[in-house]
A = this chain, B = another copy of it.
Amino acid sequence: MKKKRVAILGSTGSIGKQTLDVLSAFKDDFEVIGLAAGSNIQLLVEQVKEHNPRFVSVKDAFLAQELKSILKNPSIEIFWNDVGLEFISSCSCDIVVNGLVGSLGLKPTISALSHGKRVAFANKETLVIAGNLIKDLLRKHHGEIIPLDSEHVAIHQCVNNSSKENIKRIILTASGGPFRTWSKDKIHAATKEQALKHPTWVMGQKITIDSATLMNKGLEIIEAMYLFDVNHSQVDVFIHPQSIMHSAVEFIDGNIIAQLGATDMKLPIQYSLYYPERKQLPFNLFCDLLAIQKLEFEKPDYEKFPCLRLAYDVARKGKSYPIVLNAANEIAVDLFLKEKISFGDIEKIILKAMDSHNATEPESLDEILEVDKETRQRVSELTNSAV
C-alpha cells in the first residue's frame, strides 16, 4: 500500500501530539507531510526532527524565523499565520488532522474540504458556526469528515453507513464533568484548578472547561446534527459517569447500537486514519468491561448546567445563534482561564450575548465571520463593563 500523507493542524496541542504518537506506531502506512503549530517552538522542533515533514507552519513571522534558524534545513518549507494554516491544510496530503481549538479551525477546514481531502476532525466549533457551509463543501468536492470527538466517532461507527431514515435518535453520552455531583452554588464558585480536573479524560484546556460547564456536550449536539443529518429533537444527552459508552444510536426498529472503549484519544485518531479499515491497536488500550463492572446512565441536570439548555435552545433556533453561542463561550472560557471571571459568570456572559443578539441568516464565510466578530466585540464590551 502506498503510504498515506498526513498533515496535522495544531501539532503541539493535545490532539496533535496524540496523532503523532499514533503515526509513530504506523510508519509503514503513513508519512507526515505537514505540521502546523502555534508558538510551542521547542516541541515543534522535536516533532519536525522525528517526523521530517516537508511543510511547517507557526503562528507568526517572528516564530517562523526562529524555527528556520533552529532547523537549518532548507528542504523544509516554513509558513506562518492563517496563510500557513491554509497552505498546510490544502497541501499534497491525503488526510488533514484538524486538532485546532475554536473558530480558528474554520478556514483551514474549508480549505481542506475544498480540495476534497479527508479531514479527521476534532474542531467542533467549526461545525457549530458554519455547519451548512461545511456540508455544501462536502457535497461539492467529495471530501469527507471523520470525527475525532470520542462521541462522534462512536456515532460514526454505530450509524455505519445506515440510511438516516433508520435513525430514531442519537444518544450522546457525557461524563458529567468534575462538577456532576456538586451543588449549584459550589459549581458557580469553582476555581480554574477544580474545573481543569476532568474525571475521565485528559484533554486541552478549553475543552476541559467546556466539559465542566457541559457546553462541550451542547456544542456536540449541534455538531451531531450536521455530521449525521438529524434534527435537535433527535439528539438526547445521557450522563454516563464512567465514560465507557462513548455514544449510541437508537434505530427505528428498537435496536440500539453503542460504541464502548477506553478513554484515550488515540483510539478515535487511529480509527479516523484507517477508516474504513481497522488496524490492530499497538497500544495497551483495550477496555476491560469486567474491571469496570458497571455502566450508569442518568438524566442531565439542566438547572445545574444551564449551558446545556442554552445549546439546545440554539440548536432549535438555528440562524446566527450558534455563532453567537460559540463566540461568547470562547471569550468567557478564555476570561475564566485567565482568572478574570468566576465559573458561574461563563453562563451569564453567554446568556447576555444571546439575549442582546439580533438574529440573521448568514450563508457565506464572510457573513459568518462578521457575526463572530460582532459577537466578540459585544461580549468584550459587556465583560469589560461588568467584570
Residues of A at the B interface (CB closer than 8 Å) are 157-158, 160, 162, 166, 168, 171, 238, 245, 248, 250-262, 267, 270-271, 274, 278-281, 283, 285-287, 289-290, 292-299
State the CA gap A166–B281 with chains docked (Å): 11
State the CA gap A252–B280 with chains docked (Å): 5
What residues of chain B lie closer than 8 Å to A238, measured between beta carbons? Answer: 289-290
Given contact pairs A294-B297, A296-B294, A281 touches B258 in the complex (Cβ within 8 A):
no
State the CA gap A255–B157 with chains docked (Å): 9
A254 touches B289 (CB 8 A): no
What residues of chain B lie closer than 8 Å to A286, measured between beta carbons? Answer: 168, 250, 254
State the CA gap A74–B377 with chains docked (Å): 85
Contact of A297 among B257, B270, B292 (CB under 8 A): B292
What residues of chain B lie closer than 8 Å to A261, measured between beta carbons? Answer: 254-256
Given contact pairs A160-B160, A238-B289, A248-B260, A281 touches B253 in the complex (Cβ within 8 A):
yes
A281 touches B254 (CB 8 A): yes
State the CA gap A65–B46 with chains docked (Å): 87
Residue on B with the closest CB to A260?
B256
* Whole-angstrom distance between the Cβ of A330 and the nearest chain B Cβ: 31
What residues of chain B lie closer than 8 Å to A283, measured between beta carbons? Answer: 254
State the CA gap A280–B165 with chains docked (Å): 10
* Whole-angstrom distance between the Cβ of A41 and the nearest chain B Cβ: 33
Given contact pairs A238-B289, A290-B297, A294-B296, A157 touches B278 in the complex (Cβ within 8 A):
no
A295 touches B294 (CB 8 A): yes
> Which of A171, A251, A270 has the most CB atoms of chain B within a 10 A radius of its CB?
A251
Residue on B with the closest CB to A251?
B278
Given contact pairs A260-B248, A294-B295, A297-B293, A287 touches B171 in the complex (Cβ within 8 A):
no
State the CA gap A260–B293 with chains docked (Å): 17
Contact of A257 among B158, B253, B267 (CB under 8 A): B158
Beyond A255-B259, A290-B299, A294-B294, 10 extra complex contacts between A and B, CB < 8 Å:
A251-B278, A254-B281, A256-B260, A256-B287, A257-B257, A257-B258, A258-B259, A289-B297, A293-B298, A294-B295
B255 touches A258 (CB 8 A): no
What residues of chain B lie closer than 8 Å to A157, measured between beta carbons? Answer: 255, 257
